[in-house]
């Protein structure tokens, strides 16, 4: 969706919102409910909030960009559909297609970067499942900067993370809070935990990898090259890109924002 495709309702809303200076592409961002978005993203959020009708079996994957969403989507698809493809693994869709193209069939798997409060009420009030993957803030900032060069941002990082963290504490049946670093360190245990939350527990190890040829070529249904969803995926790579002073300032900012929440980053 282009910025000039927004509805009149959205234009009226945008005219009342605080705006930023132009980014490096010459575009402005607007502050909607505490987060900064381009006009087309605000339109998408309005459409999502107004028209999305959750099904009881839906699975919503939430994260900041470059936090392991594509990997998580592959894991979720493999877990919930494992019985369907177990008899003939050579025909498994993940061997030939990118996880972002595999939202259907039911259970539907959707991915979003919006804070918990911006999810549609039909979703929050339903029995569907929300899985949030959290990653070290410094690694996220490093990845976002490299991937989009500051052209896009999903709002205050701490507020976005905290919205799902707090909800997971009061409503563990709805929201599962996962850490990228724990998924790297103990993948089997975390996949088991994921399967238990989704109501499809299993005891047999099931290997899954995102380093497939299908993810290196072609484009997704939204026109983004498959390879753009992946990077090295290492833990602590921020050390190769951020100075000690930058890391110190980020740590101070994050500690202040997370104070009293019980959530900590290594």
Whether residue 100 lies in the annotated active site:
no
DSSP 60-77: EEE--TTSSHHHHHHHHH
Catalytic residue (one of 81, 113, 227, 241): 113
Active-site positions?
113
């Amino acid at each position: 969706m282009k910025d000039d495709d927004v509805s009149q309702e959205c234009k009226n809303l945008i005219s009342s919102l605080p705006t930023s200076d132009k980014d490096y592409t010459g575009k402005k961002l607007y502050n909607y409910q505490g987060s900064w978005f381009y006009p087309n993203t605000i339109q998408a959020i309005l459409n999502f909030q107004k028209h999305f009708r959750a099904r009881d079996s839906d699975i919503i994957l939430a994260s900041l960009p470059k936090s392991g969403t594509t990997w998580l989507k592959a894991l979720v698809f493999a877990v919930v559909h494992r019985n369907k493809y177990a008899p003939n693994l050579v025909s498994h869709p993940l061997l030939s297609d990118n996880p972002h193209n595999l939202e259907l069939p039911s259970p539907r798997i959707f991915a979003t970067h919006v804070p918990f409060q911006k999810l549609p009420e039909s979703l929050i009030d339903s029995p569907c499942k929300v899985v949030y993957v959290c990653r070290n803030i410094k690694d996220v900032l490093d990845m976002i900067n490299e991937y989009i060069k500051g052209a896009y941002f999903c709002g205050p990082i701490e507020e976005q993370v905290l919205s799902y963290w707090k909800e997971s504490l009061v409503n563990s049946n709805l929201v599962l809070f996962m850490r990228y670093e724990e998924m790297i360190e103990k993948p089997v245990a975390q996949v088991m935990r994921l399967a238990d939350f989704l109501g499809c527990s299993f005891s047999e190890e099931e290997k899954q990898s995102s380093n497939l040829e299908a993810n290196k070529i072609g484009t997704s249904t939204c026109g983004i090259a498959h390879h753009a969803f992946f990077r090295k995926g290492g833990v602590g790579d921020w050390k190769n890109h951020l100075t000690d002073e930058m890391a110190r300032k980020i740590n101070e900012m994050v500690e202040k924002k997370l104070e009293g929440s019980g959530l900590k980053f290594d």
